[in-house]
Amino acid sequence: MASILFVDDDTDFTSAIQPLLKGEGHDVLAASGLAEARAALKSNRFDILFVDLLLPDGSGLELVSETGPKTVIITGHPSIESAIRAVRGPVVDYLVKPVDLGALRKSIARALSDQSGQFPGLVAGPKADSQALDQIIGDSAPMQALRETVRDFGTTDITVLITGESGTGKELVAHALHEAMGSARPFAAVNCGAIPQELIASELFGHEKGSFTGAAARRKGLFERAEGGTVFLDEIGELPLQQQIALLRVLETKTIQRVGAEQEIAVSSRVLAATNRDLEKEVSEGSFREDLFYRINVLTIHVPPLRERTGDVELLAGRFLSQYAEEYGTPATVSAEALARLSAYHWPGNVRELKHTLLRAAILNRGRPSVDKLPDEFERPPAWATRADALAPGMSIREVEKSLIEKTLDHFSGNKKMTADALGVSLKTLYNRLKDYEGSSPKN
């Protein structure tokens, strides 16, 4: 059994956990701040220190010492700074609030058995100089900082939340993080907004034969297929609340249960999640679970929109046009005048929109020495943008959204891909919205 010191100003938490751990034979003491904790550490010997990062009188990291007890960091506000600073001391685990008893028990067991004093979330591995990292193109300051962050985070197996607008390249970041840990490991990805709600559990966790209509055979889910590798949950903000609960349990227990099965299966894979939504806002509105948000938001990478790094447009254009020249025999360069127009545009669909615009331009300019003519629809504002009746008092949010999507579809002559890019959503999200509008008949 262990002698444990909890340092946390959440007295409700420490008051609740003390009798539970004491009942299991541990000697448990609690302190609400740095001063109280230092006094306890001076007069007592502890095997394990559970410490909150944000205390009333300073940072809990001030208590971490090479000569002190094994340490478990507990926080509701995780950050990469705290994770990397933590490895300088004997940190054996990193827990995100809310913390359950099972997670505490595992941390205690790890601390009692640990010999290395190394925080397990940070593991030795190669720098993320990978093929995927090479696809994150840009010399601007934001992109240089992004690649450096990917290199840093690539040496950990900690959960990462990748944020950014649609079309910025969040999946490229996920692949770069995965390859940094070894590209031979499995990588399994799913767009959470593209799966019918009734099949989400089966897709993520698998199912047994006969567990529902159409389940003709046993099937492994995403987490089993990615065993030992990486699970990438794209558009996680689209996940329904009921499945958010199931996902939270998997992240907390590292086990999954196939649909129709009785036994749980242990899984071991790194989880990366991506979203173009403001999840903190959705938490406040009740459409995304707060506990799941803190569980996936341990480390965060934000991918900047193209309008914030317009200096990269020339580099991106050169890369895309060279690729198209090889594939389609089109011009490999862009004229100065066309490049100036491309650089001045605000790119609501980000890199994805630029790539598709250049493909159309390359085909349009086939036979010319360079791309000097851009597609007619380039820079054209949506027809509805200047209409006085675009919004009307009393319209519901659903009606406004439906009208916006339908008018954008009309503007792009029913082209759903261009519509999704202009609206800043994924194509799958657009299809889901259209399916949800009963009675609507958008163009195909």
Whether cis (ω within 30° of 0) applies to the bond prior to 98 is: yes
Do the Cβ atoms of 145 and 188 come closer than 8 Å?
no
Q: How far is CA 300 from CA 13, 149, 239, 275, in A?
A: 26, 9, 19, 11
Asked, colleague to colleague, whether 308-364 and 383-436 share their fold, the answer is no
183 band by pLDDT with thresholds 50, 70 and 90: low
Mind listing the pLDDT tens digit for each residue in 41-99? 988 889 899 988 778 887 777 787 756 788 888 876 544 444 444 444 567 777 777 77
Pick the CATH number of 131-302 from 3.40.50.300, 3.20.20.140, 3.40.50.1010, 3.40.309.10: 3.40.50.300
The full set of domain ranges for the chain reads 3-113, 131-302, 308-364, 383-436
CATH of range 308-364; options 3.30.342.10, 1.10.10.2520, 1.10.8.60, 2.60.40.10:
1.10.8.60
Total-model pTM: 0.61
Q: Using DSSP, state whether 307 is helix, strand or coil.
A: helix
Among 256-265, 282-291, 310-319, 422-431, whose mean pLDDT is lowest? 422-431
pLDDT band at residue 143 using 50, 70 and 90 as cut-offs: very high
Q: Is the pLDDT of residue 182 over 90?
A: no
Tell me: pLDDT of 29 over 90.
yes
Strand partners, 188: 231
pLDDT tens, 275-303?
Answer: 999 999 999 989 999 999 999 998 899 99
Superfamily of domain 383-436: Homeodomain-like (1.10.10.60)
Q: What is the mean pLDDT of the chain?
A: 82
What is the mean pLDDT of the segment spanning 311-332?
92
Q: Using alpha carbons only, what angle is made at residue 308 by residues 306 and 314, rounded to the nearest 5 degrees?
A: 55
> CA quadruple 339, 343, 347, 350: dihedral positive or negative?
positive
Domain 3-113 has CATH 3.40.50.2300: yes
Predicted confidence (pLDDT) at residue 392 exceeds the cutoff of 90:
no
Looking at per-residue pLDDT, the higher value among 247 and 262 belongs to: 247
